[in-house]
Amino acid sequence: MSDLTYLESYLHQVDAAPDLTALEVLRVAVLGKQGVLTAELKKLGQMTAEERVVIGPLVHQYRAELTSAIATRKAALDAAALDARLAGERLDMTLPVDAPLAGTIHPVSQVMDELAEIFADLGFAVATGPEIEDDWHNFTALNIPESHPARAMHDTFYFEPQARTARDGQGPSSDGELGSPPAGLGSSPRMLLRTHTSPVQIRTMLAQKPPIRIIAPGRTYRSDSDATHTPMFHQVEGLVIDKGITLGHLKWTLETFLKAFFERDDIVLRLRPSYFPFTEPSAEVDVGYTLEKGKRVIGGSGGGWMEVLGSGMVHPRVIAACGLDPDEWQGFAFGCGIDRLAMLKYGMDDLRAFFDGDIRWLKHYGFSALDVPTLSGGVGA
């Protein structure tokens, strides 16, 4: 009878196999075509029936034991190999990146951050409103009724009537001279892309009690396109509602804002009488510039004047449309093109490049994500 005890030593070798290669060599030596166990299985065929009854179960038992020992050892070695790989590839995600930052902050976003910083220092909060606006907030409540020529001047993008959505109506329930907010009309209002940020004045006055001090930066839309106009552009609205507010407060605020924004003390403003339906009196504000090597630089006024914003004292009808008593509350408002501010401060000359998404332009004019504007550090310096 054959002695199978030598197979015990293979069991020990499998358990002690130092790595996957050694284990594979062992597996072939035991279970492979030329393997010792395969040879023992072949021998069974030449045995007598009596021998086979005794030896057969033993051989099969060894085969089962060795097969499972190899599988167990393989699993252990696989797990150890994975652990070693993971340890080798360990990354500390909390470490700062050592590659240059890939993206940049768009000048428009940078200027919006600068505005928020400057006006926060003056006690203004940032307000927002929807870009898809209704007729009432964009025009009617701003003292621009249906027949008003200013509506035509705004080159409005209107939505098809079937694209109208049900709007949340907010505001006073009483019918003011300028009508009620859309919900009061009961039907779906005419929807449009807001042509200016001024509807945020209305939304803020309806939602908050005065005193109010807000700026509202955001996207605005007009059907207009050339080197200085794009169908989508950015504005910032300013609104102050309080008691005893005068044109003097408006002028001081704008002067303080523009000095901080352009980081110069020699900013000179010129207020020209103008007309906006929602302010009375209204003023267009020019900022003086000087010519340096043929280029216009904001500051002084030796070179001429550039229009930067529209402003005025909030019209009593607008205050009344928002459910406030104009005899008690007054205020001023202004609206300013953000893209134009960015162009003047950072020296770009084609507005269209703002929205081309050209990576070279963005690399050149963009700002580091870590370069957060602060008043102490210099806004956008």
Residues lying near ligand PHE in the complex (CB under 6 A) are found at 196, 198, 276, 279, 310-312, 333-335
Residue of closest CB approach to ligand PHE: 335
Taking the least distance from each CB to ligand PHE, the nearer of 104 and 201 is 201
* CA–CA dist 37, 27 (Å, integer): 10
Q: Which amino acid is at 39?
A: A
- Label residue 174 exposed, middle or buried (CB < 10 Å: 0-12, 13-18, 19+): exposed
Measured distance CA(343)–CA(216) in Å, rounded: 20
How far apart CA 348 and CA 379 sit, in angstroms, is 18
Taking the least distance from each CB to ligand PHE, the nearer of 110 and 311 is 311
CB of 225 vs ligand PHE, minimal distance in Å: 17
> Smaller CB distance to ligand PHE: residue 194 or 345?
194
CB of 331 to ligand PHE, least distance (A): 10
Closer CB to ligand PHE, 264 or 272, in the complex: 272
| Nearest distance from C-beta of residue 236 to ligand PHE, angstroms | 10
Closest CA to 271 of 263, 282, 260, 280: 282
Sequence-distant (6+) residues with CB within 8 A of 378 are 263
Burial of 38 (0-12, 13-18, 19+ CB in 10 A): middle
Q: Quick check: 362 and 108 in contact, CB under 8 A?
A: no
- Judged by beta carbon, residue 26 or residue 240, the one nearer ligand PHE is 240
CB atoms within 10 A of CB 298: 22
- Least separation in angstroms between CB 313 and ligand PHE: 9
Nearer to ligand PHE by C-beta: 110 or 235?
235
Residues 105 and 368: their CA atoms lie apart, in Å, by 6
Instruction: Report, in Å, the least distance between residue 159 CB and ligand PHE.
Output: 20
Which CB, 105 or 322, lies closer to ligand PHE? 322
CB-based burial label for 238 (10 Å; 0-12, 13-18, 19+) = buried
262: three-class secondary structure by DSSP: helix
Q: Which of 176, 211, 225, 179 is nearest to 329 (CA)?
A: 211
In whole angstroms, how close is the CB of 176 to ligand PHE at the nearest point? 20
Cβ-based nearer residue to ligand PHE, 60 or 148: 148
Q: Which is nearer to ligand PHE, 190 or 315 (CB)?
A: 315
Alpha helices in the chain (DSSP H): 7-16, 20-31, 36-46, 49-88, 107-121, 135-138, 149-153, 182-185, 199-207, 247-262, 316-321, 338-346, 359-365
Structure tokens belonging to residue 52: 């086979």
Distance of closest approach, residue 282 Cβ to ligand PHE, in angstroms: 6
Question: Which of the 8 DSSP states describes residue 196?
Answer: S
| Nearest distance in Å: CB 126, ligand PHE | 16
Residue 337: CB minimum distance to ligand PHE, A: 8
